[in-house]
Structure 1
């Protein structure tokens, strides 16, 4: 199930056009692989598709776009943190490559969008689901440890946000290290329309009692996958009402092709939640929601903010798929402003 966030306060979107430097090292590509998506995503100019081999032997798709802004040779603090993007259910690395990778790379950030196992062009594990919260977070950590030179900023959407929440609880976790799972340090993390720390069960129950019609639509759309065949339902679930229908159809097709198996067993996942708490202020964190998010409610966003001791930000006139919506630049500018503050 894709997932959720809204907010407790609104901010101005008239952000300055900050831009930053570039880094140069290029990872190696794995070539000549059979495409797993019958409708493959065509990369944009400046993007490269790589495959990172995990300890399991499976390959994880990574779409890379390096920072292109000029670096000031006299500014010792001008090196930007790399950005690592983690998608949610029914999506893959392409959802970031469409708008946000070109945007952030143009401002000097090296960008890496991952496709979790069983999604996009990544290999699929054996079994009926792609993994668990633990295995997905461990795969992200393995990629960062082996391929990312500086402590990155992790950005996660929907259930990808929950994976990031699990990741940050394991940074400097001695028990995780003893079990062979090393979680590299981060510069920060941004939770974009993320599932709250307690999972999606609270959201479902609130919808059942306060918005029964919406609850039925969300369940039909996501659990029954009706969004894959119904254009109106796909649009209402993920996008703004002003989104062009032809664009919605394109993304609907890509989402249908992206997810060959569920990210999680939701019953087992919810039984393992909430994620462990972390000391307030131990990680620089942005909690970002969309005012027109059909999936997540305002209380879900406030829960996430309270859990981490930060004030969540609500972006107006944007829907759940903030990075693909017709006003995608609104959320991108909020994140850019936050990244600018981190870099000072």
Structure 2
């Protein structure tokens, strides 16, 4: 499924955004649809592995969008210069295809994109920020990794500069996952990763003060307890800025939706959704 986007495109269907969908199973529960937004280096495919079927089985129409230049979307040739603002435009285009405002669920960079889209007035029923880039930016955690885990930071640079085929998969395992994946799954996931927009990466390093004010929809902030990229202290900061208590996925790393025990994260998201929908 695709929705039209404006601007240059290359890769995927030209000028179009990939929108994956798992239809709600059983009797409709009257809940709004869910729209998952991936993080840097990924695509909508990361949600299809586990989360889209999981939430569809629980009565939600579950969707995932690939931002321009990612997954099966157009714009691959232009992704190096895409900004967070461009990605927010993509999300607005995807939301416009819905008959009712969806719940926006953003992971990592996708959380920053959701935040920006909401401040522009994109319609949503609620928002879930999952291991998301905080409004304070990533410069502090970059410094922390440089001092404590420089090899992991190096591998991120390898992924960005040379592509997934050059990444040390053992280091990728440590960076993204708290639980041991099978070699087959690890190769599959790292092989589907891709370089990210250099501009968007630079923007994520900078704080967005005081732009954290102004999100009017109900919000949940969820962190992964063993996340090296968005550690718990950053999650607590983000939750404080949104005025909510943080929720935690136990024993999970940054890519919680792909962990062997991915159900732990899905259950935390499901619990948050139940409470957010009641607040509408």
Higher helix share: 2
Question: What corresponds to 1:156 in structure 2?
Answer: 106
TM-score of the two chains, using structure 1 as the length reference:
0.72
Q: Which of 50, 55, 69 lines up with 2:26 in the alignment? A: 69
Question: What corresponds to 2:32 in structure 1?
Answer: 81
Question: What corresponds to 2:11 in structure 1?
Answer: none
Instruction: Mark the runs of 5 or more structure 2 residues left unpaired by the alignment.
Output: 9-14
Contact 1:68–1:107 (CA<8 Å) still a contact in 2?
A: yes
- 1:69-123 CA distance string (max 9 Å, x none): 213xxxxxx4111100110111101000000000000111111111111111111
Q: 1:69 to 1:166 in 2, by over 3 A?
A: same
3-state SS in 2 of match to 1:129: helix
Query: RMSD in angstroms over aligned alpha carbons?
Result: 2.1
Q: 1:263 to 1:119 in 2, by over 3 A?
A: farther
3-state SS in 1 of match to 2:256: coil
3-state SS in 2 of match to 1:340: helix
Higher RCO (Cα < 8 Å, 6 or more apart)? 1
Q: Which of 117, 140, 152 lines up with 1:218 in the alignment? A: 152
Query: How many residues of Structure 1 are paired with residues of Structure 2 in the alignment?
Result: 268
TM-score of the two chains, using structure 2 as the length reference:
0.88
CA-CA distance at 1:294 after TM superposition? 2.1
CA-CA distance at 1:207 after TM superposition? 3.5
Contact 2:134–2:237 (CA<8 Å) still a contact in 1?
A: yes
Q: Distance in 2 between matches of 1:98 and 1:127?
A: 27
1:89-238 to 2 correspondences below 5 Å: 89-124=40-75, 127=78, 129-145=80-96, 147-171=97-121, 183=122, 185-208=123-146, 212-214=147-149, 216-225=150-159, 228=165, 229-238=167-176
Instruction: Mark the runs of 5 or more structure 1 residues left unpaired by the alignment.
Output: 1-49, 72-77, 172-182
Q: Distance in 2 between matches of 1:205 and 1:161?
A: 21
3-state SS in 2 of match to 1:95: helix
Q: Distance in 2 between matches of 1:277 and 1:152?
A: 21
1:30-41 to 2 correspondences below 5 Å: none
CA-CA distance at 1:296 after TM superposition? 1.9
1:266 matches 2:223: no
Contact 2:31–2:277 (CA<8 Å) still a contact in 1?
A: yes
CA-CA distance at 1:293 after TM superposition? 1.0
Q: Distance in 1 between matches of 2:6 and 2:232?
A: 39
Q: Which of 186, 192, 199 lines up with 1:254 in the alignment? A: 192
Instruction: Report the structure number with the largest CA radius of gyration.
Output: 1
- 1:194-224 CA distance string (max 9 Å, x none): 111122112112344xxx231x123112122
